[in-house]
Structure 1
Amino acid sequence: MLKVLAIVPARAGSKRLPQKNIKELGGLPLVAHTFEAIKEAKYISHTLATSDCPKVLEIASSYEQVTPLARPAELASDTASSLDVIKHAVEFAKECEIEFDVICLLQPTTPLRAAEDIDSAIELYIEKNAKGVVSMTECAHSPLWSTRLKEEHDFKQFISGLTNTRAQDLDPYYQLNGAIYLVDKIEFERSGKLFLEQDYYPYIMSNESSIDIDTEIDFLIAATVLKHRADKVC
């Protein structure tokens, strides 16, 4: 059976929303929502939580099959790359003799991503015999309705091109939502990339489940959605 290693990166620093990964959302620290989804997912065989935050590591240690991994200072700066963080986690897993075929990066800033999303993305990976899968969501507003403004009047030609164009008549566009990244272990070690050019497929998620928390407004929106979900259950 396919063995999937989940990697949850949750560093302490956050300029726009300080300590966001441990900020309480719907009764749980933000990062715990990802651990809860992993706990219910069918295909995750082991999880590494990589962080320089003692509280995140403490939360991670309270979950079975989650190993807290203290992140070196050089991988916790604003300039540290996600790829280097993943490489560090992968090397740690290999040193601990944790067996896995696929890497599944799950960023805690997408807390409304459900276990069903994780499972469905992995099932797509299996079905397509893929090398990688990335989650996406439909753009709330078509990029065809946007333009750059280098100067004050740059938008005039753009406006004229929109004459008699209705939003509902435009083709849908999709954007990365940061929720799920799947990549073949061997392919990642070979290329050092999450984004591949071949055998790479999109997994489409709803806008609601794709809320990505970067600011206080994002956090408030996510809290409102969680409350709405809870009220519907009641």
Structure 2
Amino acid sequence: MSNIAIIPARGGSKRIPRKNCKFFLGKPIIAYSIEAALQSNLFDEVMVSTDDTEIAEIATQYGASVPFFRSPKNSDDFATTYDVIEEVLNNYAKKEMTFEYACCLYACAPLIQISDIKRAFEKLKEETRDSVFPVVPFSFPIQRALHFINEKIEFVNHEFALTRSQDLEPTYHDVGQFYFMNAKTVLDKKAVLTNNSSSIILEETMVQDIDNETDWKLAELKYQLFKGNEKI
């Protein structure tokens, strides 16, 4: 069995400039994903897919490999996660290196936990899934979402207007930390999420999307809260 951790980290970032190498509580944010992958002892190869020399230098400094740079085609705003994974696995195949399992860990996921990566991997194998990734429940039932119609506020789904929150089916969203997958199956189906994917559920305190400076500060607070509780 051979596993690879792929950490996508291109140089361009519109909302937070140089996001992937910006310092988060004392070290580049990408370092957290690299260290989690290395310390999990799950991977034969931990690599960073980037088009940026500074990110490549940081990646190697923290123990990841950068055996090749990402193509211009997969370095723009329209490249998908699958596009990057496919390129990486195909480039390794040209070097006669293939992997049974691949895990795509996002570069801006400082709250990622080794135990969650391991939990997802076990579920992937035990349930013979194509991929497994972490999700978190929506904090409020999306069935009772509101929207504006001609400046008036209305329920999107009127049939749930009077339904109690506790009587509605829980819904979840992707937390944007990682995807653990069967490499061959994902390449064959050309998709990371398939009709045979599953998830592990995380607590909201361990999840934070980072798209702006406020998100960044919230992520730092959550990280410090977690580390503080960890010492108790």
Equivalences for residues 51-90 of structure 1 within 5 A: 51-64=50-63, 66-90=65-89
CA distance in 1 between partners of 2:170 and 2:26 (Å) = 35
1:196-227 Cα deviation digits (max 9, x unpaired)? 113x2112122222212111111000111122
Distance 1:157 1:201, change over 3 A: closer
Residue 120 of structure 1 pairs with residue 119 of structure 2: yes
d(CA) in 2 for partners of 1:117, 1:140: 21
Give 1:94-133 correspondences, 5 Å limit: 94-133=93-132
- Structure 1 partner of 2:185: 187
Q: What code does the residue aligned with 1:147 have?
A: L
Q: Give the TM-score taking structure 1 as reference length.
A: 0.89
Between the two proteins, the alignment pairs up a number of residues equal to: 231
The 3 A distance-change label for structure 1 pair 221 and 20 is same
Alignment RMSD: 2.2
Letter of the aligned partner of 1:24 in structure 2?
A: F
Structure 1, 144-153 or 110-119: larger mean CA deviation: 144-153
- Superposition deviation, residue 160 in structure 1: 8.8
Aligned residue type for 1:223: E
What code does the residue aligned with 1:90 have?
Answer: L
Percent identical across equivalent pairs?
26
Aligned position for 2:207: 210
Give, in whole Å, the separation in 1 of the partners of 2:160 and 2:99.
51
Q: Kindly tell me: are residues 161 and 135 of structure 1, through their superposed partners in 2, closer, same or farther at Cα, counting changes over 3 Å?
A: closer
Letter in structure 2 aligned against 1:102? Y
Q: Deviations over 1:21-42 (max 9, x none)?
A: 1111111111111011112213
| C-alpha distance 45-157 of structure 1, shift in aligned 2 (>3 A) | closer
Does the CA contact (< 8 Å) of 1:48 and 1:89 recur in 2?
no
Q: Does 1:33 align with 2:68?
A: no
Aligned twin of 1:227: 224
Q: Which amino acid aligns with 2:99?
A: F
Cα 1:64/1:108, change in 2 over 3 Å: closer
Correspondence 1:47 to 2:46: yes
For residues 139 and 156 of structure 2, what CA distance do their matches in structure 1 show? 23
Structure 1 unaligned blocks of 5 or more: none
Give the stretch that moved more between structures: 89-98 or 65-74: 65-74
Structure-2 change in CA distance of 1:11 and 1:157 (3 Å): closer
Aligned to 1:218, the other structure's residue is in SS state helix
Aligned pair 1:152/2:138, yes or no?
no
